[in-house]
Structure 1
Amino acid sequence: MVSSSYSLNMHNILLPTCILILFALIKTSSGQLSANFYASSCPNFSSIISSAVNSAVSNEARMGASLLRLHFHDCFVNGCDASVLLDDTANFTGEKTAGPNNNSLRGFDVIDTIKTQLESSCPGVVSCADLLATAARDSVVALGGPSWNLNFGRRDSTTASLSAANNNIPAPTLNLSGLISSFSNQGFTTNEMVALSGSHTIGQARCTVFRNRLYNENNINSSFATSVRANCPSSGGDNNLSPLDAATPTSFDNAYFNNLLNQNGLLHSDQELFNGGSTDAQVRTYSSNPATFSTDFANGMIKMSNLNPLTGSSGQVRTNCRRTN
């Protein structure tokens, strides 16, 4: 029979050992992204990306929203792995022709330009996934929004998922429960969903995705509906564009939430955030507290940029973001 004192001593030895092993596993799984990942291998990567993003946004303010959206549509499909950038080939189907992306996502040429500059400076070093995460942040900053700290070391996928792109990216026709569920599937709380929806303070949408709201919904400001209908007829003009935030369309601010209070949400999913439901109070808070929105949005973006990244020996660092090596 083993003495109780021996058992106690063994327990005291084993417990710290188990804790150390657990910490080691946690560090292995989450510690491969770091702020200093490119400190020696490509110290200028951040300035290269920010300079190119500033130039692109200066040429066309809408590009800021497009680059932010690219990152979002990437991360919501099997994690932030740059799968959204892969072109279709004779033997490979990517995500670009998925319903939420086809004839809608843009900014690929800007990503190509930045990647070429990075390859010239640091060949084979900076991943397309890290490029997307950084370009999204720099785009928000370029339009007057908040910045946030990023960790790096994401690697690029060699695969893509058309079905996941069709199923995971929240549609502009979703009601509040659908939005909550879509974001919850990615690990986001309802509050984080509302904060991230504030990205619609910049960018534009095609008539085809909000026409039904203009002509068939009642929770819309009549003057607003009339003004938008001028560029979105009941039939035709599917690709005509309207700003998601008509008040300050090229400034990253909290005007989006003020629009919702006035029933000036362009998309059905936008107005669902302020339609007598559980998120009304948060919309009111953001409409009157821009600093709170900025903080919550930045924190939400940090969380999104860390969705299931490939690290270590997984994936690859593509030399061309459109195709695998």
Structure 2
Amino acid sequence: MNARQIVLAARPKGMPTVETFRTEEITLPDLQNEEVLLKGLYYSVDPYMRGRMSAAKSYAAPYEVDQPIHGGIVAEVVQSTSPEFAKGDVVLGYLPWSTTIIAKAKDLKKIDTNLAPASYYLGILGMPGLTAFFGLMDIGKPKAGETVVVSGAAGAVGILVGQIAKIQGCRVVGIAGGPEKTNMLLNEFGFDAVVDYKATTDLSAAIAHATPNGVDIYFDNVGGEISDAVIQQLNFHARIPLCGQIALYNNTEVALGPRIQPFLLTRSVLMQGFIVGNYASRFKEGIVQLAEWVKTGKLKYTETIVEGFDQLPAALLGLFSGNNTGKMIVKA
């Protein structure tokens, strides 16, 4: 059986381009024992993928040049040699970007599409949802009446962080770009205030105005100048779950910004970086709680779905210019 796969053609310097990727035709081998033949349905694109295109040491091994990009994929079982999976089952796995995939049964998880749409398992019930839940609840430890600021607030994680903070009784301020995202966060997702970083010439003043009582929790998805501005408003004993630094991922030189240690020191601030894999042993706990909030209507979600397997590179690049609202997903 033939398939198309997308590989890393070269390690990018600075912002990746479409030339960073290459599409290849391959012939799949015969299915072996305890293997499953899959047809890709939904493909996740995520900011962390940019880091894995670099050879630099990180929490996960880099992608290999001339080998397929890997990511979260929801797929349908076409054929199986494992008793755990049958034709027509819908599964989730960390898999190569390929139209058709052979995977080991042990690397797949069957999902319930009656509980939620299949794509939600790449978003609200998947990595972004768990990232928002554990980052805010375990590191941020929100208390009713506190002010929570979320950068990248219209992204897959940020939308959920804001809503979970509201469930905890907090005042929530989002930072996003453009009137469409600003209005969406205010009117659809219940944020108390939103700073449009594209519409202000004085970001520090705009954030100060939106946080008159200071900032108790800053959920940092972005880094860069936005974080520099938020940190000035931190309260005593503030907490910073450090989730992402998308503003810096494509820098070719080390960015020079404010020295934040004096703020952290003099205000007794906790800043903790994390990846969702740190909480792997507690994933069931997170999914159960997220699913309950979805079922009761306390947690809403949105996705940006791009049609066509060949659009995967463009969709990934679109993350860095803010083309997505909520989770960015490619539908085969």
Class of the TM-score when normalised by the shorter of the 2 chains: under 0.3
TM-score, reference length from structure 2: 0.27
TM-score, reference length from structure 1: 0.28
- Structure ranking higher on relative contact order (CA contacts 8 Å, 6+ apart): 1
Q: Which has the larger share of strand?
A: 2
**Bigger Rg over Cα:** 1
Q: Which has the larger share of helix?
A: 1
